Structure 1
Amino acid sequence: MKLPLSPPSFETLIQNACSDRHISLFNSSFGPTDAEGRYLHWDKLRHLQPPEGWTSEYYWLALKSARQHLYKKLPFTSKSGEQFQFCMIDSIHRDLHWIDQNAAGRIGMDKPVTNPHTRDTYLVGSLIEEAISSSQLEGASTTRNVAKEMLRQGRKPKDHSEQMIFNNYQAMQFIREYKEEKLTPAMILQLHRLLTEATLDDANKAGQYRDGGDDIHVVDATAAVLLHTPPEASELPERVERLCQFANDLDGKEFIHPVIRAIILHFMVGYDHPFVDGNGRTARALFYWSMANQQYWLMEFISISRIIKQAPAQYGKAYLYTETDDNDLTYFIIHQLEVIKKAINALHEHLEKKAAELHDVEKKLDGSVLQGQLNHRQLAILRHALDHPNAIYSIQEHQAAHKISYQTARTDLLKLSDQFKILSKRKYGNLFVFVAPPDLGQTLADIEQIYQKGITV
């Protein structure tokens, strides 16, 4: 990734416009966006055709002038002492309204996430997805299937990548536990400790701010380009304290929409880079805390990191656009709102897919002796087993996947093996495991015949 070209000096452009007597500039009807509603950075706008009679520089000056009238100042400064700011443009208002309708309050949808009997199953899945994707963004290389197996089985991580994912899962659970509390520096340090346990070169740096001896820079390793140098380490305690005040100041004199507040919290942790490593994971986790703290309950079921991972360069560019254009956070806010919308839509698509799959299983059982005999957890195993011959299921994994007690998980699996004969029970060391037969479809047909003959299974 290369650094975007910084805009030309606003003051110089003003002087040139006055010298050129470019009167139309001061009478222009341009707003903060182009004709298509896009909030463009100079690095892109300079390549586009400006309106007739305008140069690219003067067109930029007209847009920038409109933005300056809309800027809302924030209680944060860059390392050079300039305030961060953002614009509330129409597209942001529209996206916030959509998110309010689809991620908070009483959402009218007949979905498993609103069903108290099934929501924990989907919550576990989303926590696992975010833990994996957020860690992969920072370099974890473990495959998704292996990582899911590790988390569901509760086994110890085998390598650095698995440890990152395991840590991220623990951190997301920590966020859920503390979502009703006010944010404190101690919470942020504990969150970082959870995220980086057994993954840092210096274990003592877990849960500790970087110090003056830590030479921290954000660099594009592929192009050997310096992208960002964070503020001095000596400033961090004060900057983090200010961040917590901002996160908790929900009834301040100036209203900032809760979603915007969460996105700004995300950005500022990335900008300040308080730690030697794990800053991105900490920033994204704090975004989840802020959203949950403000009752955006559906956010617990989505993964923003999964969406960011699809186009990581756009994520990095949103940071750089802000830093190279007067600390204008609008670029990052617009990017993250789009990420949130995509993540919510992805959740709905996932739920529809899972509902269709369970419907297919129930259809297979329609009219059979097993109809109505299996609960939703057992149906989920049956659906999975039909697509995965010889799959192995354990009590511990089933327990973790659905956030149920050991005894409930044991009963589910024993019924599938001993009563319904759907799975085969085998001894594995000191434990029982349950295996899907390679010809499960035929097995179901055999079960039906046995019942029809009046033989007890």
Structure 2
Amino acid sequence: MKIPLSPPSIDELMMAVTPEMLPRFPLLNLGPLANGQYLHWDELRHRPPPEGLNHKTWWLALRMARSSNAQALPFKDKHGKPFNYSLPEPLLKNLHEIDRGAGLIPSGSKNAALRAEQGRYLMGSLIEEAITSSQLEGASTERRVAETMLREGRKPRTLSERMIFNNFEAMRTSHTLCEDKLEPAHVIELQRVLTQDTLEYPEDCGHLRTRDDIEVVAPNDERLVLHRPPLAREIPERLQKICEFANAPVSEGNFIHPVVRAILLHFMIGYDHPFADGNGRTARTLFYWYMARQGYWLTEYLSISRILRKAPAQYARAYLLTETDAGDTTYFLLYQTRVILDGLAALYDYLEQKQREQTRLSAQLRNLHTRDKQLNHRQTALLSHALKRPDEYFTIESHQRSHQVAYATARSDLLALAAQGLLVETLHGGRKRVFYPAQDLHERLENSTPHQL
């Protein structure tokens, strides 16, 4: 990974332009985009410039167009220069698609299907985000082990399991982060939940950073320093600014799109690094919290970290593009909105896959009854899972957590399946009540007839 090359200074750019060329810039109608993209100088310098321009004059024309539409933000970089952003067409398009796809505008059968079984889908998404967000920070527990831990509610046994468990608890309770206004104490408490019993220096848990020796290094090269955050003494004031930004009414003053505001909260926590550790997890959780607060309920079902984990260098580069181009956060906004859209696409693909599986399984189970009642969707989902993973067991507690139902409801579901011979009840370790899939489960479902197995 390489740090993007910073653009030439204004003085250098102006030296490349003759007095006769400046009046011609508006006539070129270049706008803020280069070939339909919001390119950084590091990329633009490798593209062929428009006729009559060289790379420096082309960049100057783009910079002038961008500056005329840029909006200053209430945040400053570590050198005291304000961050800014603009709304080029690709970003506006992404924001529109997120408005349509993330649940702000209720529409489509997919959203309705998700609403119908939101307990099960929400549990699965929380588990996915907890695991992948922790893996971004170095956790290495096997996925199936981590998933079983979270579904059963057992205590973590290793450092990696503890990271995942903490992430899960933070995500699960993020909607209760604050009742009214976000305060620095809420953010500090969030970091405490995320990092408890996982840090090399326990005193860093639940406390703001006090040292200035923090360096953010490249994902694949610890020798390459990508970022040195602002001084520790500035952190309290900077965190207060972040909270004020989160609390500002959406319609107050200059309108900032809620998704833009959520992404900028993420950006600033990552940039300021208010904690010695856990900044990335804190930033992502605040993003989810703000999106849900603004009515984007579908974001609860997205795993942003799963997308980021596929290409961590691109995530880091989105920060660097901003840092090396006069605090222009448009690069980070474009990247993160694409991540959200990728997450939505993955969610809808997952929904379609689950609906196909449900249809196939329902065909097998349409004649299968339990006490003269057809199996409910929770039992059907459990049997579907059992067919794919016949070596796993289920507990009343894990079924309860997976579907967000009462203990009595979960107990009734499992006992009914055991009564039909689809599950086998036993005691695990002589005490714990568990249910294994019947060894001939597949054959029983294939050969089922009404009221008979």
Q: TM-score, normalised by structure 1?
A: 0.93
Q: 2:423 aligns to what? A: 423
Assess if the C-alpha contact under 8 Å between 2:364 and 2:446 holds in 1.
Answer: no
| Letter of the structure 2 residue corresponding to residue 261 of structure 1 | R
1:129 is matched with 128
How many angstroms does 1:236 deviate by? 0.6
2:366 alignment partner in structure 1: 366
* Partner of residue 60, structure 1: 59
How far is 1:372 from its partner?
Answer: 5.5
The change in CA–CA distance for 1:327 and 1:115 in structure 2 (over 3 A counts) is closer
2:395 and 2:208 map into 1 onto residues whose CA distance is 41
User: How far off its partner does 1:180 sit?
Assistant: 5.5
Matches of 1:440 and 1:174, distance apart in 2: 37
Letter in 1 for 2:237: E
The residue number in structure 2 matching 1:401 is 402
Name the CA distance, whole Å, in 2 between partners of 1:446 and 1:63: 68
The answer (yes or no) to whether the contact 2:364–2:445 under 8 Å persists in 1 is no
The equivalent residue for 1:183 is 182
Q: Distance in 2 between matches of 1:55 and 1:445?
A: 70
| Cα deviation code 1:63-97 (max 9, x no counterpart) | 11111101100011011010000111111111111
Tell me, yes or no, if the aligned pair for 2:421 and 2:438 is still in contact at 8 Å.
Answer: no
TM-superposition CA deviations, 1:139-166 (whole Å, max 9, x none): 1111221111110111111111111111
Counterpart of 1:379 in structure 2 is: 380
Structure 2 residue 303 is the aligned partner of structure 1 residue 303: yes
Q: CA deviation at 1:397?
A: 1.1
Unaligned runs of 5+ in 2: none
Counterpart in the other structure of 2:164: 165
Q: Which amino acid aligns with 1:136?
A: Q
Q: CA deviation at 1:47?
A: 0.9
The DSSP-based 3-state class of the residue aligned with 2:162 is helix
| Secondary structure of 2:317 counterpart | helix
* Equivalent residues of 1:72, 1:85 under 8 A apart: yes
Name the SS of the counterpart of 1:18 in structure 2.
Answer: coil
* Cα deviation, residue 233, structure 1: 0.4
Q: How big is each residue's C-alpha offset from its partner over 1:276-311, in whole Å with a ceiling of 9 and x where there is no partner?
A: 011011011111111111111111111111111112
Aligned-pair CA distance for 1:407? 1.7
Cα displacement (A) at 1:447: 5.1
Letter in 1 for 2:217: V
Is the contact between residue 128 and residue 169 of structure 1 (CA under 8 Å) also seen in structure 2? Answer: yes
Distance, in Å, in 1 between the alignment partners of 2:84 and 2:160 is 37
Change (3 A) 1:144 1:347: same
Residue 218 (structure 1) aligned with residue 216 (structure 2) = yes
**Quick one: distance in 2 between partners of 1:231 and 1:113?**
45
SS in 1 for 2:435: strand
Matched residue type, 1:122: Y
Correspondence for 1:89: 88
SS in 1 for 2:290: helix
Report the alpha carbon displacement of residue 4 of structure 1 after superposing the two structures with TM.
0.7
The answer as to whether partners of 2:367 and 2:448 remain within 8 angstroms in 1 is: no
Q: For 2:111 and 2:65, how far apart are their aligned partners in 1?
A: 46
Structure 1: any 5+ residue segments left out of the alignment?
A: none
The SS at the match of 1:435 is strand
Q: Secondary structure in 2 aligned to 1:189?
A: helix
Deviations 1:17-40 (Å, cap 9, x if unpaired)?
1368666446432110012x1000
User: 100-109 vs 422-431, which deviates more?
Assistant: 100-109
Q: Supply the distance in 2 between the matched residues of 1:115 and 1:103 (Cα, whole angstroms).
A: 12
Q: What displacement does 1:15 show? A: 3.2
Residue 3 (1) aligns with residue 3 (2): yes
- Go from structure 1 to structure 2 and tell me whether the alpha carbon gap of 1:117 and 1:415 turns closer, same or farther (over 3 Å shift): farther
* Matched residue, 1:443: 444
Q: What do the CA deviations read for 1:397-447 (whole angstroms, capped 9, x no partner)?
A: 1111111222211111111002x1111111222122111123312223565
- Alpha carbons of structure 1 residues 431 and 22: separation in structure 2 relative to 1, 3 Å: closer
Identity rate, percent: 47
Amino acid at match of 2:34: D
Distance 1:7 1:187 in 2: 38
User: Offset of 1:53 from its aligned partner?
Assistant: 2.1
Cα drift, residue 6 of structure 1? 0.6
Secondary structure of 2:394's aligned partner = strand
1:392 aligns with 2:393: yes
1:109 correspondence with 2:86: no
**In the aligned structure 2, how far is the partner of 1:179 from the partner of 1:355?**
36
Deviation, structure 1 residue 181: 3.2
In structure 1, C-alpha distance between the alignment counterparts of 2:173 and 2:365, rounded to whole Å: 40
CA distance in 1, matches of 2:66, 2:383: 57
Mapped pair 1:285 → 2:285? yes
Alpha-carbon shift at residue 116 of structure 1 (Å): 5.8
CA contact (8 A) 2:140 2:160 kept: yes
SS at match of 2:449: helix
CA contact (8 A) 1:112 1:122 kept: no
Shift, 1:209, TM fit? 0.6
TM-score w.r.t. length of structure 2 = 0.94
Higher mean alpha-carbon deviation, 366-375 vs 420-429, is at 366-375
* Count of matched residue positions in the alignment of Structure 1 and Structure 2: 449
- Following the alignment from structure 1 to structure 2, what is the Cα–Cα distance between the partners of residues 123 and 384? 16
Aligned residue number for residue 207 of structure 2 = 208
